[in-house]
Amino acid sequence: MKLRKVTAATAVVLALATALTACGSDDKSDGGSSGGKTIKIGIKFDQPGLGQKTPNGYTGFDVDVATYVAKQLGYDKDHIEWKESKSADRETMLQRGDVDFIAATYSITPEREAKVDFAGPYLLAHQDVLLRADEKGIGEPKDLNSKKLCSVTGSTSAQNVHDKLAPKANLKEYPTYSACLTGLQNKAIDALTTDDSILAGYASQAAFKGKFKLGGFKMTNENYGIGVKKGSDLKAKINSALEKMVSDGSWQKAVDANFGPANYKNEPAPKIGNIVK
């Protein structure tokens, strides 16, 4: 009889333990600050000021935006798994489910919208040029005629300027933006072209502080969006998070922190769904 009582009591304890374990599992499935699941976010790893992997973690405007959005979705910093999203891989990563969303200087275009959905835009950038701080002979795009114009190998930015604005520009292709910056600093080239946000990020590095300036030419409109898988309900949730980020001042704070040293004259925060052609 005594053995039976012990066995029955043990059974009660085990049942309670099982119930508590189940409750704990349910709490963790919520993810985010409650602990448990992670969210996978795609960013660039090699763009200073936007998305950069450093020995101390991840930094940049896209990182700040993604971190804020993740927080609104219920995930704190410790529950973010950062994934490198190179330009050519972004649609595939979303379609395969390798990431939950991507914030990586991801311009919204009709071709991309056919494959993935976009929240945002969260930044309106423009193709521009970066010049030496003491440059006085280049005040508008046509002044790039006969000048050495650099962009990275495979980019269409320099070719766009050559074809549409300065047909006599002397195009130079370097393997990286950092190489272009060194060439600009050493006067091997006269100007570097790509999105103004990317240029501002590079120019904001401590090693280049005060050495470069943006031309302010605004040659194209680049609407940066957050990519999600086609049909994902995350789009609406991310849009709400972006609207809050703008309204509470966090968006402008992130702009100033990441682009301020280059005197980047950013456009106001774009309205959700407003794509500037």
Q: What is the average pLDDT value for the chain, to the nearest integer?
A: 88
Task: In the chain, list all ranges with CATH 3.40.190.10.
Answer: 32-124+223-262, 127-214
State the pLDDT confidence band at 18, using cuts at 50, 70 and 90.
very low
The tens digit of pLDDT for each residue in 246-257 reads: 999 999 999 999
Do 199 and 261 contact (CB within 8 A), yes or no? no
pLDDT of residue 268: 96
Average pLDDT in the 34-47 region? 86
Do 102 and 43 contact (CB within 8 A), yes or no? yes
Q: How are beta strands 222-228 and 117-125 bridged, if at all?
A: antiparallel
pLDDT of residue 24: 39
pLDDT of residue 35: 53
pLDDT > 70? residue 25 = no
pLDDT of residue 234: 98
The correct CATH number of 127-214 out of 3.40.190.10, 3.40.50.300, 3.30.1370.60, 3.50.30.50 is: 3.40.190.10
Instruction: For residue 14, give Cα distances in angstroms to 6, 10, 18, 21, 151.
Output: 12, 6, 6, 10, 67
Q: Give the residue among 200, 127, 111, 124 at the shortest CA–CA distance from 164.
A: 127
Residue spans of alpha helices (H) in the chain: 2-28, 61-72, 90-96, 110-113, 157-164, 177-185, 196-203, 234-247, 250-259
Is the preceding peptide bond at 121 cis, omega within 30 degrees of 0? yes
pLDDT > 50? residue 223 = yes
Locate 247 and state its tokens.
């309204």
The fold adopted by the segment(s) 32-124+223-262 is D-Maltodextrin-Binding Protein; domain 2 (3.40.190)
